């Protein structure tokens, strides 16, 4: 009994140390010019049995489970943070990159892998499928806080969120081809249509249901709302996957829908999922780092072949996929060159590389080591130079500045009221008007105004200016009237965060 408790305590201590080290790595990653996820992977490799020997971990099935769980959380958080208004204009190139682009990349890498490694065609296609997609975790992490032009950032985020299902589908398909020669082309096509079509429909349905449920339910604690939203993400993935469709696509689509709705406790939901997604990124990359043995990874053959395949992926396969899949889509060569360079590989290829291992395929360990090396190369070289590349091509926008203010919203009881955060924009009809002249409903009170990062105490003579952030106390019954007053033609575009009062 004492030994069991001691081992449990040891495990908890290790988790604490790894998370603290991961947070510190994320803190200093920008200073080092290295993406945080690379440091997480190196942390796992260092802590493993081939490093300083803190942890001996080789449970591939558990690593795959934890990896999929983390990807669900990361995709959900990424979808919540992605605005539909920014995704909609780039939907066509994003979907083309997520489908046709993945196929082109996979085919080029498949040919290279077949002749370099002496594989069969199906094995080559399996290898290409595993590294064919960009990675949402890597892209979201590297682009966060960067002042890349919004159009390009949205394209990359939408592509990475939508192309994981394609990579999963192709990987499972070619494993099936290798294990079962009788698999038909008809099965492949129908399975693909079902995976994508059902994943999209279920994602939309669950996203709308979750938005409605979050706003309708009256929970006793504000801390339960983020948990409730997260539960819908897990439910969306599991139900979709159990139906044989793409659970990852469904999660990302549902998050886009949820994030575009006005939600009760929206800030709480977003901040909780942001923190949880960071914890999942740290945990996932550390665990994936534990799976690999540096002595195997740094073998001469792995280094030479890995560098050769990485070069083909970065300089041939990805650019060919980008330029062909975005043909005639109103993108100039600079934008296409940037999209080519920003095609980061990350957790998804490593997680997918565990599928052949669990299936017991020949060369599966070689696949895993090479794919791990390719991911490290991609994140280290491309991830650390994305900003420099964008700046060199004049594809950066205004520097993103985080306003230097915080506002703690505290529940004040069970009254049927809310505090709304509203960002004034060009569609707000009361710009330039004094508060005393605006016909607000009787039960509306402007509590505070944030203007250019500074707190303004509102009075009757205070004028509303563009880009002001208003904090408004309003009763539930007057909420729609207030939105119609501020933006009568497009009230739904108001940005809100709620606190039940």
- What pLDDT, in 10s, does the model give residues 60-80? 888 888 888 988 998 898 888
**Sign of the torsion formed by the C-alpha atoms of 132, 133, 138 and 139:** positive
Block residue for tokens 């060569």: 333
Please give the Cα distance from 124 to 113 (Å, whole number). 5
DSSP β-ladder status, 417-423 and 469-475: antiparallel
User: Which residue did the predictor score with more confidence, 194 or 300?
Assistant: 194
Q: Which two tokens stand for residue 429?
A: 């009809």
410 has pLDDT over 50: no
277 has pLDDT over 60: yes
- Top mean-pLDDT range of 246-250, 256-260, 316-320, 483-487: 316-320
Q: What is the pLDDT of residues 345-404, one digit of tens each?
A: 887 888 889 899 888 888 898 999 999 899 888 888 888 888 888 888 888 866 554 443
pLDDT of residue 222: 75
Q: Running DSSP on this structure, what letter comes out for residue 281?
A: H
Helical residues (DSSP H) of 97-135, grouped into ranges: 102-117, 121-130
Judge contact between 234 and 75, C-beta under 8 A.
Answer: no
Kindly report the length of the chain: 501
In this prediction the pTM is: 0.76
Find the mean pLDDT for residues 468-487. Answer: 81
212 has pLDDT over 90: yes
Q: How would residue 97 be classed by pLDDT, with cut points 50, 70 and 90?
A: very high
Strand, helix or coil for residue 32:
helix
Q: What is the pLDDT of residues 127-181, one digit of tens each?
A: 999 998 887 777 777 776 667 887 888 888 888 877 877 888 889 888 988 887 6
Strand, helix or coil for residue 473:
strand
Q: Which two tokens stand for residue 426?
A: 């060009």
Burial class (CB in 10 A: 0-12, 13-18, 19+), 71: buried
Please give the Cα distance from 200 to 192 (Å, whole number). 12
Among 417, 405, 432, smallest CA distance to 482 is for 417
pLDDT of residue 362: 87
Q: Running DSSP on this structure, what letter comes out for residue 82?
A: S
Q: What is the pLDDT of residues 282-322, one digit of tens each?
A: 888 888 888 887 777 777 788 899 999 999 999 999 999 99
Please give the Cα distance from 145 to 209 (Å, whole number). 31
Task: State the average pLDDT for the chain.
Answer: 82
86 has pLDDT over 60: yes
Task: Report the side by side order of strands in the sheet with 469-475.
Answer: 417-423, 469-475, 444-451, 454-456
């Amino acid at each position: 009994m004492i030994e069991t408790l001691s081992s449990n305590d040891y495990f908890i201590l290790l988790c604490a140390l790894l998370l603290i080290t991961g947070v510190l790595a994320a803190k200093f990653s920008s200073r080092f010019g290295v993406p945080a996820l690379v440091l997480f992977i190196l942390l796992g490799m260092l802590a493993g049995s081939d490093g300083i020997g803190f942890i001996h971990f080789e449970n591939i099935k558990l690593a795959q489970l934890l990896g999929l769980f983390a990807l669900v959380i990361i995709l959900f958080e990424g979808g919540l943070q992605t605005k539909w208004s920014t995704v909609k204009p780039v939907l066509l190139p994003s979907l083309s990159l997520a489908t046709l682009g993945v196929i082109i990349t996979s085919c080029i890498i498949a040919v290279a892998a077949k002749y370099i490694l002496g594989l069969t065609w199906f094995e080559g296609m399996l290898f290409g499928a595993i590294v064919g997609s960009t990675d949402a975790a890597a892209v979201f992490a590297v682009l966060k806080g960067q002042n890349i032009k919004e159009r390009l950032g949205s394209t990359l985020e939408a592509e990475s969120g939508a192309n994981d299902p394609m990579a999963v589908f192709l990987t499972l398909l070619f494993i099936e081809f290798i294990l079962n020669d009788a698999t038909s082309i008809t099965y492949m096509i129908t399975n693909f249509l079902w995976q994508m079509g059902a994943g999209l429909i279920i994602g939309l349905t669950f996203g709308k249901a979750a938005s409605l449920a979050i706003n309708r339910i009256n929970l006793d604690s504000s801390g339960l709302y983020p948990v409730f939203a997260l539960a819908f993400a897990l439910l969306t993935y599991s139900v979709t996957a159990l139906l044989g469709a793409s659970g990852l696509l469904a999660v990302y689509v549902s998050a886009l829908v949820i994030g575009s709705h006005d939600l009760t406790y929206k800030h709480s939901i977003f901040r909780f999922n942001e923190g949880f997604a960071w914890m999942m990124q740290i945990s996932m990359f550390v665990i994936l780092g534990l799976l690999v043995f540096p002595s195997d990874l740094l073998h001469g053959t792995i280094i030479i072949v890995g560098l050769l395949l990485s070069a083909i992926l970065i300089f041939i396969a990805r650019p060919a996929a980008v330029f062909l899949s975005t043909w005639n889509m109103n993108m100039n060569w600079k934008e296409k060159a940037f999209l080519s360079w920003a095609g980061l590989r990350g957790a998804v290829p490593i997680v997918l590389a565990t599928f052949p291992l669990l299936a017991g395929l020949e060369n599966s360990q070689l696949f895993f080591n090479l794919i791990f090396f390719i991911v490290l190369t991609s994140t280290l070289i491309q991830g650390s130079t994305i900003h420099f590349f964008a700046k060199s091509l004049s594809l950066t926008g205004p520097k993103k500045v985080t306003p230097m203010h915080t506002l703690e919203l505290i529940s004040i009881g069970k009254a049927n009221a809310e505090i709304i955060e509203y960002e004034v924009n060009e569609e707000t009809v009361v710009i330039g008007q004094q508060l005393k002249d605006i016909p607000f409903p009787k039960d509306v009170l402007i509590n505070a105004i944030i203007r250019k990062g500074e707190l303004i105490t509102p009075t009757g003579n205070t004028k509303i200016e563009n880009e002001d952030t208003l904090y408004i106390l309003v009763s539930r019954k007057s909420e729609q009237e207030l939105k119609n007053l501020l933006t009568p033609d497009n009230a739904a575009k108001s940005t809100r965060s709620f606190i039940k009062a």
